[in-house]
Structure 1
Amino acid sequence: MSENANDMSDEEKRRDQLLRAAGSTEEDAAPRIVVSEHDGVKRIDIAPDAVVRPGPADADA
């Protein structure tokens, strides 16, 4: 995790930052959104397997 920040992609920088905290796991760095583009329109959705999801903690999804 000690690569030069200029040599890292945005995704590598994100992962590196999320894994720096004590006790963090690979699950903490897992993508939480899915971006798709159709006919020039970008759509951003919550990843179906995202551990952290928006909304009340007691809501059934």
Structure 2
Amino acid sequence: MQELKQQGWFKSSHSNNNCVEVTQLSPGVIGVRNSDQPGNELHLTPAAFAWLVAFARESVTHL
């Protein structure tokens, strides 16, 4: 498996330090991880990441 280089992990400006972090690993791969357990990552396509964000937004508005 090809090793992907991260550009730096970013948190939401709305975070209280308990959140998801993201980074662009390559042009077609976005890394997502829990800030409490940074050793575990999801690697998503930009389309999958966009869907995840839209799903999260929709879920929050229905709480």
Alignment TM-score, normalising by the size of structure 1: 0.26
Q: More strand by proportion, 1 or 2?
A: 2
Q: Which structure's CA Rg is the greater one? A: 1
